[in-house]
Amino acid sequence: MYRNAEGLGIWEHRGKVAAVGVGHAPTTRRWDGRPETCVGAISIQALRQAIDDAGVAPEQIDGLVVVPDTTTGAFWEEGKPLPMDVIQSFQQTEDPLDGVAKISTEWLLANMPELTNVQFTMYGPTCMSNALNVTAQAVGDGLTHTCLVVKSWHNFEGRYYQGGANAGEALPGTAAMSQLWGGPASYGTALQFAEYCRKYGKSHEMMAPFMENSRRNGLMFPEGYWAQHRPEELGPEDYLAARWIAKPANLFDNDIPIMMSGAYLFSTAERAADMAQKPVYILNHASSNTRSRSLLPTLDEVEADTARTARKIYEGAGITADDLSFENMYDGFSLFHQFHLEGLGYRGIQFGEALDFYQTDISIEGPNPVSPSGGNIGSGRSRVWMHTDCIQQLQGRASSRQVTGVKPEVAVSGGPMPLGGNFTVWSASPD
């Protein structure tokens, strides 16, 4: 399913698979405990919206790809009574937390009786980026001709990543070798950024224009959290005044955990031509399964892998960096977006140049749009906005966020981390 080697040539299904429908459920900061808003319910909502958006009948759908994990840091506390009123509001699976703290294909199909013809199901673990690779390959291989793909997030009360092992008195021996020192989630990225700044003579302050741009774009993303709930800008003073989490990563360099669900409908290019929205063609998908030598990736490892990933992206799509209209690489920790940019060689920038690039016009109105989706910084923790934006931009329906300084023809999105990850190349035309 995954194209994680160089030298594979043009993707065999280049231009023959298309994304058509987009669906998003409303976001919230945390789950309020009601059946209508649990992660399963919002997943159904997003899927149904994607079906409607594509203008297909539910019985036409023969495939479903799901990201089963719906959190990285918010867990149902051990010993806490299960929300039986919520669980019993739905058709259940063997896992009582299905639909509450995870989602399965079984749970979704049991609770979406209109999907009468799904023959193919598969999981794309962890991220929508992974699930998109699975979906594109599955449609291309003929395993499914009209396939839904969904990624959802839940968020419970309490602080993210706190609780569980972090609240305990002791750790298992193998985990302790890396976890005893208490680095928060952004610690590894913060260190790579620190090394980058020392190597290239840059500073954290240089991130401010990127942050301001990302939040600006996010406020033009009506499906996103900040636009829906707290339409606050993030100017340089705001950003630079924030407290450190793991210096040099501050509060706003970390995305805000939310509840959300995003879904797409993929099909063959042939079938997509008759659907309700303009098809967005997949030129390639690429993956990296590189692991660091030791506890944390070094900057050298990051730069080598982002460059290698870019070569895979371009090779399979039959394009070069010059063909990119814009990029929507991942930004969950803002401090690694530049590694993706530099690896891509976006607009010709070399290693060490991205922060200088941020000081130029990176707006959606300019010739070099950076993260027009606004990403997770702009709309909250989802790992989905980047893909939705690519589809909407290339369909010409990104509304006030539509890029105007470039003609939206080809884009790339993906992540999450600079080492490893999954990436998709999107195009307004199949050629």
Partner 1 sequence: MTKQGVLPDSFSQPFWDAANEERLVIQNCRACNRLQHPPAEACRECGASDQLEWKPVSGRGTIYNYGVVHDCPVRLLQESQPFNVSVIMLEGDPGIQMFSHLPGTPVDDVPPGGAVEVIFEPTANGQLVPEWRVIAG
Partner 2 sequence: MERQPRLITVEDEEWPVLVLISFDIDGTLEIGDPPGVLTMDMVRLVREKGFLIGSCSDRPLSGQRAIWAAHEIEVDFVVSKHMLPDVKAQFEADVYVHIGDREDLDRRYALAAGFEFLWPHEAVAHPHFHPEI
By CB under 8 A, name the binding residues for partner 1: 159-162, 166-174, 176-185, 187, 190-191, 194-195, 198, 243-249, 291, 293-296, 298
Residue 166 interacts, among partner 2, partner 1, none and using kind-specific CB cut-offs from 5 to 8 Å, with partner 1
Shortest Å, Cβ 415 to partner 1: 21
User: Is the CB of 77 or the CB of 233 nearer to partner 2?
Assistant: 233
Shortest Å, Cβ 355 to partner 1: 18
What gap in Å lies between CA 42 and CA 40, rounded to an integer? 6
User: Is the CB of 180 or the CB of 276 nearer to partner 1?
Assistant: 180
CA dist list (Å): 304 to 187, 280, 292:
20, 30, 11
User: Is the CB of 80 or the CB of 243 nearer to partner 1?
Assistant: 243
Shortest Å, Cβ 393 to partner 1: 35
Beta strands in 310-394 (DSSP E): 326-329
Shortest Å, Cβ 83 to partner 1: 25
Residue 161 interacts, among partner 2, partner 1, none and using kind-specific CB cut-offs from 5 to 8 Å, with partner 1
Residue 34 interacts, among partner 1, partner 2, none and using kind-specific CB cut-offs from 5 to 8 Å, with none
Closest to 327 in 3D by CA, of 302, 354, 347: 347
Residue 234 interacts, among partner 2, partner 1, none and using kind-specific CB cut-offs from 5 to 8 Å, with partner 2
Residue 79 interacts, among partner 1, partner 2, none and using kind-specific CB cut-offs from 5 to 8 Å, with none
Query: What's the CA angle centered on 212, arms 210 and 216, to 5 degrees?
Result: 115
Shortest Å, Cβ 246 to partner 1: 5
Number of Cβ within a 10 Å radius of residue 5: 12
The H or E element containing residue 54 is helix 39-54
Exposure letters 119-144 (e unless 16+ CB within 10 A, then b): ebbbbbebbbbbbbbbbbbbbbeebb
Residue 276 interacts, among partner 1, partner 2, none and using kind-specific CB cut-offs from 5 to 8 Å, with none
What gap in Å lies between CA 390 and CA 381, rounded to an integer? 17
Pair of tokens at residue 4: 């994680």
Residue 5 interacts, among partner 2, partner 1, none and using kind-specific CB cut-offs from 5 to 8 Å, with none
What gap in Å lies between CA 182 and CA 319, rounded to an integer? 43
User: Is the CB of 159 or the CB of 198 nearer to partner 2?
Assistant: 159
Question: Omega before 231 cis (within 30°)?
Answer: no
Beta bridge partners of 424: 285, 413
| Phi (first) and psi of residue 270, to 5 degrees | -65, -50
Shortest Å, Cβ 388 to partner 2: 24
Number of Cβ within a 10 Å radius of residue 175: 10
Q: DSSP 3-state assignment of 290?
A: coil
Q: Which residues bind partner 2 (CB under 8 A)?
A: 29, 159, 229-230, 232-235, 237-239, 241-244, 251-252
Categorise residue 174: left if φ over 0, alpha if ψ from -120 to 50, beta otherwise: alpha
What gap in Å lies between CA 42 and CA 153, rounded to an integer? 9
User: Is the CB of 162 or the CB of 404 nearer to partner 1?
Assistant: 162
Residue 233 interacts, among partner 2, partner 1, none and using kind-specific CB cut-offs from 5 to 8 Å, with partner 2
Shortest Å, Cβ 156 to partner 1: 15
User: Is the CB of 159 or the CB of 291 nearer to partner 2?
Assistant: 159
Shortest Å, Cβ 82 to partner 2: 23
